Amino acid sequence: MICHVVLIRLKPEISSADTGAFIAQAKETLGPIPGVRDLRVGEGLGVKAERSHPLALVMEFDDDAALEAYQVHSEHQRFVHEILGPIQDDKLVYDYRC
């Protein structure tokens, strides 16, 4: 199994309401994509580092092929470019076998 972790820092001008809408939209858009076994999205419990990424998306995939298919799926691409792109300040992506 592959775990796909995305840590996100949104632009400072993004409101709490916008953050909540983003989380709901991530669940609605990314969860149904074929190959996504589990999707968890949430806000961190507070700043614990000098450089924080307070939002996390954590997904599980059966194998490398499922993750690769997800990466190029049209809904994932649309989400990254049209929904996340305009509001993100920075993101970190980490994949590992779990």
Token pair recorded at residue 43: 């806000």
46 φ/ψ sector (left φ>0, alpha ψ -120 to 50, else beta): left
The pLDDT value given to residue 47: 65
What's the predicted TM-score (pTM) here?
Answer: 0.91
Write out the H or E segment, with its range, that includes residue 20: helix 16-30
Classify strands 55-61 and 88-97 as parallel, antiparallel or unpaired. Answer: unpaired
- What's the total number of domains in the chain? 1
Range of the domain at 36: 2-45+52-97
How does the average pLDDT of the chain come out, rounded?
Answer: 94
| Mean pLDDT for the stretch of residues 33-56 | 86
CATH number at residue 83: 3.30.70.100
